Amino acid sequence: MPGRHQSSFSYGRYAGGPDPLAPPVDLAEALDAIADDVMSGYSPEQAMREFLRRGGRNRQGLDDLAGRVQQRRRDLLQRHRLGGTLDQVKELLDAAVLEERKQLVRDAMMDNTDRAFREMRMENLPSSTAAAVSELADYDWQSQEARQMYEQIKDLLGREMLDQRFAGMKQAMENATAEDRAAIAQMLADLNDLLEKHARGEDTPEDFERFMAEHGDAFPENPQNVDELIDALARRSAAAQRMLRSMSAEQREELMALSAQAFGSPELMAQLDRLDASLQSLRPGEDWTGSERFEGQEGLGLGDGTGVLQDIAELDSLAEQLSQSYAGSTLSDVDVESLARQLGDEAAVSARTLAELERAMRESGYLRRGADGDLQLSPKAMRRLGKSLLQDAAGRLSGRQGRRDTRLAGAAGEATGSTRAWQFGDIEPWDVGRTVTNAIGRVVSEGRDPAGGIRLDVRDVEVRETEARTQAAVALLVDTSFSMAAEGRWVPMKRTALALHHLVSTRFRGDRLQLVTFGRYAQRRDIGELTALSAMREQGTNLHHGLTLATRFFRQHPTMQPVLLVVTDGEPTAHLVGNGQAWFSWPPEPETVRATVAELDRVGRLGAEVTFFRLGDDPGLERFLQSMAHRVDGRVVSPDPADLGAAVVGEFLRHRYPGTGSTFGDVEWE
């Protein structure tokens, strides 16, 4: 429509950087992977590093990026060889000599003696290219084409020498005039004066600004101060030195001899030598002495070769950054711009994503610093993991994915059909109908129209009353003898404890749970300690000590129903003696068995409901646990380690809801 303002939009191709449409980083996946490694014995810091190295679903890790960096480095060395400039000079020299000989043959007017002298000079040129070029420095060329080719040699050498120190100078100086060369000579002189003044501490920002105003076109890096200028020049100059050291001794000698012919001006090399000396003094930390072994067939000129050596230095720096092996390293250290240059935008996006993941993990509250300064899984992380593991156990108990185990939902007891006002600490479900009715009545009583909207108030909430439920004191005893780790049962054991801990702490808040580990000795553990517990290479299965701690725990809660759950993969091979020390013997001694049975009888007299979870197929353990369960009217469950969590949760629920039985069909009940 005429006169109406119209906006126009243009859309371009995505040009790298963080993907604005990418989903947020998946902390759940990272936390699950980190937790598995922690439960396997890694510290949280190590576990996070391992996850970042491995990467996640559809995401490259640090190892993938580091492998690509190393492959890129190998490709550069295997594809290229040095000496490309020497090859070009030799080709130009051979062509010039050939053209001169042709001209000598064609020139019938030339004096025979002079022709013979010139032909002899062409025939007797040194085999060394550098020496031949030097030999012909004062030669009066008869062929105009040959003269031009010889001048091209000097021009090529000059441009290559400049390109070694200033990237892109070879192309910029092509077909340069005498005025252009004079401008370069002046730039070098001014640059050397600035650097030497800076080394003495006498330069000012105005000196740098004046220099850049006059010569800034020669520096595409666009340095913002003299230090950035020195950094850029030093990296390039150090790469040039490493290139020279990577050449054979013969190539270096040839090149040094040829350098005097650059632009036909020895002053150029004097200025470049002065520049190299200043840069090496100002930036001694650069690698000025390294070398590389090139094995390819693609010849490199001085400028291009220096660029490749710069690439290799950048790749080496990236490899160190990606290794994260130095003190205080974080993924924010990775130079994503360098990574994009060397491996492409996709690699840079992967590095940014990993850095964001690391930052998010540290700031999410899932990891925290302990008193010793080391990273630990936080209570928030433990709750998140416990919830995930409990959901997995519930899924296994339900018999198929997607079916909800309703026994996990109503942890407050059986509903009576009546309701009451909500009180602080109530965990009973809301009666939605009564709550909404209360809200409507309140709004009307306040003289407002309910059609205008209703906002619930805490005074409106009513909960469904439930019958009182017997509280339980639950002791989970887990075997931590070395066989548990050696047979792959260590992590399932920890996952089981975490799932049960989450269930009791969130759905059965009135219950009490005690976690006890028993190896050579038994010890009470909180869930954080157990989760981070490393496998111990000690022999001994001291169930006697574990039962002693369980008995003490039950007596501390005399009004609660005692529930004992024992996870083990071996017969008892240790017991406590009179002085509190553990006595170990394999095979089990009768005294160990008697002490263990006596402590179990004490548990039985307290009215505990007992379930043993047998891991492995040891016949001796099977017989022992069967007889132990028989003494206290308990039971034995033989789950696969992967199903241990579901088996323990199922047994706990069976004790809390007598008569429901187990719906976990893959467990062998004995």
Tell me: pLDDT of 208 over 50. yes
512-530 per-position pLDDT tens digit: 999 999 999 999 998 888 8
Query: Which residues are 609's β-sheet partners?
Result: 563
Are β-strands 472-479 and 367-369 bridged in parallel, bridged antiparallel, or unpaired? unpaired
Query: Which residues are 415's β-sheet partners?
Result: 466
- The predicted structure's pLDDT at residue 370: 65
For all residues of the chain together, what is the average pLDDT?
A: 83
Tell me: pLDDT of 46 over 60. yes
Residue 54, number of CB atoms within 10 A of its CB: 15
- The predicted structure's pLDDT at residue 419: 78
Residue 661: band (very low, low, confident or very high) from pLDDT cuts 50, 70, 90? very low
Stated as kind and residue range, the H or E segment containing 500 is: helix 490-507
Helix (H, G, I), strand (E, B) or coil at 396: helix
Are β-strands 635-638 and 415-421 bridged in parallel, bridged antiparallel, or unpaired? unpaired
Write the Ramachandran bin of 336: left for phi over 0, alpha for psi from -120 to 50, otherwise beta: alpha
Stated as kind and residue range, the H or E segment containing 419 is: strand 415-421
The 3-state secondary structure of 399-414 reads CCCCCCCHHHCCCCCC
The Cα 81–Cα 304 span in angstroms is: 11
Q: Check if the beta carbon of residue 346 is closer than 8 Å to that of residue 336.
A: no
- The predicted structure's pLDDT at residue 425: 53
Task: Mention every residue, 6+ apart, whose C-beta is less than 8 A from residue 513.
Answer: 474, 475, 476, 500, 501, 504, 505
Amino acid at 402: G
The Cα 49–Cα 63 span in angstroms is: 11
Tell me: pLDDT of 468 over 50. no
**E-assigned strands of 205-302?**
298-299
- The predicted structure's pLDDT at residue 664: 41
472-669: which CATH topology? Rossmann fold (3.40.50)
Contacts 24+ apart (CB under 8 A), 181-187: 181/263, 181/265, 184/218, 185/265, 185/267, 185/268, 185/271, 187/214, 187/215, 187/218
Return the higher-pLDDT residue of 240 and 428. 240
**What average pLDDT score do residues 82-87 get?**
89
DSSP 347-383: HHHHHHHHHHHHHHHHHSSSEEE-TTS-EEE-HHHHH
Q: At what angle do helices 302-323 and 84-106 cross, to 10 degrees?
A: 170
CA trace torsion 364, 370, 374, 377 (10° rounding): -40
- The predicted structure's pLDDT at residue 176: 79
Residue 547: band (very low, low, confident or very high) from pLDDT cuts 50, 70, 90? very high
- The predicted structure's pLDDT at residue 567: 94
The Cα 616–Cα 52 span in angstroms is: 34
Tell me: pLDDT of 3 over 80. no
279-301 per-position pLDDT tens digit: 999 999 999 988 899 989 998 88
Cα Rg for the chain, rounded, in angstroms?
41
Residue 117 backbone dihedrals phi, psi, to 5 degrees? -65, -45
Residue 343: band (very low, low, confident or very high) from pLDDT cuts 50, 70, 90? very high
- The predicted structure's pLDDT at residue 408: 40
- The predicted structure's pLDDT at residue 444: 82
Residue 502: band (very low, low, confident or very high) from pLDDT cuts 50, 70, 90? confident
576-589 per-position pLDDT tens digit: 988 888 888 888 88
The Cα 279–Cα 665 span in angstroms is: 76
Using the CB atoms, write b or e for 633-651: b if 16+ within 10 Å: ebbbbbbebebbbbbbbbb
When mean pLDDT is compared across 86-100, 210-224, 336-350, 418-432, the lowest value belongs to 418-432
**What average pLDDT score do residues 393-406 get?**
50
Residue 462 backbone dihedrals phi, psi, to 5 degrees? -125, 145
pTM reported for the whole predicted model: 0.64
The tokens for 126 are 């040194």
**What average pLDDT score do residues 544-562 get?**
94
Task: Mention every residue, 6+ apart, whose C-beta is less than 8 A from residue 275.
Answer: 165, 188, 191, 192, 195, 233, 237
Query: Which residues are 565's β-sheet partners?
Result: 476, 611
Quote the DSSP letter at residue 333: G
When mean pLDDT is compared across 295-299, 381-385, 571-575, the lowest value belongs to 381-385
**E-assigned strands of 469-570?**
472-479, 512-518, 522-525, 561-568
CA 354 to chain centre: 6
Helix (H, G, I), strand (E, B) or coil at 15: coil
Are β-strands 522-525 and 512-518 bridged in parallel, bridged antiparallel, or unpaired? antiparallel
Tell me: pLDDT of 221 over 90. no
The tokens for 619 are 């016949």
The Cα 404–Cα 181 span in angstroms is: 82
- The predicted structure's pLDDT at residue 371: 60
DSSP 32-91: HHHHHHHHTT--HHHHHHHHHHH--TT---HHHHHHHHHHHHHHHHHHEES-HHHHHHHH
With CA atoms as reference, report the closest residue to 93 among 139, 52, 49: 139
The residues spanned by each domain of the chain are: 27-80+315-377, 83-293, 413-466, 472-669
Tell me: pLDDT of 372 over 80. no
Which range of 45-54, 81-90, 172-181 scores highest in mean pLDDT? It is: 81-90
The tokens for 179 are 């005025």
- The predicted structure's pLDDT at residue 505: 86
Tell me: pLDDT of 467 over 70. no
Are β-strands 561-568 and 609-614 bridged in parallel, bridged antiparallel, or unpaired? parallel
Give percent of the chain with pLDDT exceeding 70: 86
- Cα–Cα distance list, 550 to 97, 544, 594 (Å): 100, 10, 17
Place of tokens 């990577």: 246
Tell me: pLDDT of 626 over 90. yes
Give percent of the chain with pLDDT exceeding 90: 37
With CA atoms as reference, report the closest residue to 603 among 569, 554, 558: 554
